[in-house]
Amino acid sequence: MMKWFLVAVRSDFIVRHITTLTIMAVSAEHIRTLHKYEKTILSVLERQMSRYAWIPLEQLITSTGFAESEVNYRLARLIEWGMVRFNPVPYDGYALVFGGYDTLALASLTRKGTISALGTQIGEGKESVVYEALGLGPVAIKFHRIGGRSFNSARVNREYMTEGGHCPWLIASKLSAEREYKALVALHPKVSVPLPIAQNRHTVVMALIHGANLNRCILEAPAFVLDEILENVRIAYKEGMIHSDLSEYNILMEDGKCVLIDWPQWIETSHPNAETTLNRDIDNILTYFKRKYKLTYDREDAIQCVTG
């Protein structure tokens, strides 16, 4: 049975805790009991994170207008709950972490009525985690999670993440979500991608796709599906976009039709590496169908199908 983390659509973001959940970095109970002062501190940390790697305690006191004792008390709770991190060197500094960023994003999405409940995890990648949720109907909410090795790779491979100098993981994750949402809005419904619903901070809310990854499916008509994938890649190319990470792991099958997912790394067809990137995407797909279904498709014909 599906377990839901219910969130009431109210301006003060009250969360009703139905069951003990470990699906998020912080518990529903902690979000439910979050004090307005703690929400203020989280918001100040968010506003300052592009300026500081570690926000000084003095800056928090000045920005919130709270007494130092009050700020210290609230910070201690936020640290205990996994929403904030402390660093004593070279000064007492604080940083928002994913637990706090998740809380702010859920608060905003709830206030706007985009979601009302969060369900179980339904997907995970090296740079994201996806949960089922309820909005006006079933939806999926994707939390972008760039960090560690994926962050370093993103900075090297994605030019938009090197702009502006300092780029902590939360900002990188926000940029990634914005990038993916932009692609979905531009491509849907011409290309078979998830219907975009909303984007907030590092999250993207989209229509729920009821299907499995291509690599987990046994196709009755693999040649037809391959043609369909190449046709969608062709339309996206015509719209000026190349997926840049296309493989059997980034394609879902719903009612016998393909849905291309995971678009934060897309590049424009005018990019200097566009040809190499497109060829890699096509090679990934052709190699998969040849390996699993012994289906041979001429590489040059496939490229011509997309770009011609």
Least reliable range by pLDDT among 101-110, 162-171, 188-197, 227-236: 162-171
Longest dimension (CA), the chain: 70
With both helix axes pointing from N to C terminus, report the angle between 222-238 and 274-293 in degrees, rounded to the nearest 10: 170
pLDDT tens digits, residue range 271-282?
999 999 999 999
Higher-scoring residue by pLDDT: 126, 207: 207
33: left (phi over 0), alpha (psi -120 to 50) or beta: alpha
For residue 23, being part of any structural domain is answered with no
Share of the chain above pLDDT 70, in %: 85
For residue 115, being part of any structural domain is answered with no
Q: How many CB atoms lie within 10 A of CB 57?
A: 17
Share of the chain above pLDDT 90, in %: 77
For residue 120, being part of any structural domain is answered with no
For residue 150, being part of any structural domain is answered with no
Residue 16 has pLDDT above 90, yes or no: no
Residue 48 has pLDDT above 60, yes or no: yes
Higher-scoring residue by pLDDT: 118, 68: 68
| 168 cis-preceded (ω within 30 degrees of 0) | no
- The position carrying tokens 């003990």 is 20
C-alpha dihedral, 89 to 94 to 99 to 104, nearest 10°: -160
Answering whether pTM is above 0.85, one says: yes
For residue 268, being part of any structural domain is answered with yes
| 90 cis-preceded (ω within 30 degrees of 0) | yes
Catalytic annotation on 301? no
- What tokens were used for 275? 């040809």
Instruction: Please report which residue ranges of the chain form alpha helices under DSSP H.
Output: 28-32, 36-48, 57-64, 68-80, 98-111, 148-157, 169-187, 222-238, 274-293, 299-307
User: What is the residue-averaged pLDDT of the chain?
Assistant: 88
For residue 157, being part of any structural domain is answered with no
Q: Of 245, 255, 281, 298, which residue is the catalytic one?
A: 245
CA distance 179 to 184: 9
Q: Give the model's pLDDT for residue 165.
A: 45
Instruction: Please report which residue ranges of 24-141 form alpha helices under DSSP H.
Output: 28-32, 36-48, 57-64, 68-80, 98-111
For residue 235, being part of any structural domain is answered with yes
- What tokens were used for 283? 């090679």
Residue 75 has pLDDT above 90, yes or no: yes
- What tokens were used for 111? 């206030």
For residue 213, CA distances in Å to 73, 114, 261, 286 come to: 46, 26, 10, 16
Residue 20 has pLDDT above 60, yes or no: no
Q: What is the CATH number of the domain that holds 298?
A: 1.10.510.10
- The position carrying tokens 């391959």 is 226
For residue 146, being part of any structural domain is answered with no
Q: Give the model's pLDDT for residue 32.
A: 73
Residues facing 95 on adjacent strands: 85
pLDDT tens digits, residue range 227-268?
999 999 999 999 999 999 999 999 999 999 999 999 999 999
Q: The domain containing residue 253 runs over which residues? A: 212-307
Total domains in the chain come to: 1
| pLDDT band, very low/low/confident/very high, at 30 (cuts 50, 70, 90) | confident
Residue 62 has pLDDT above 90, yes or no: yes
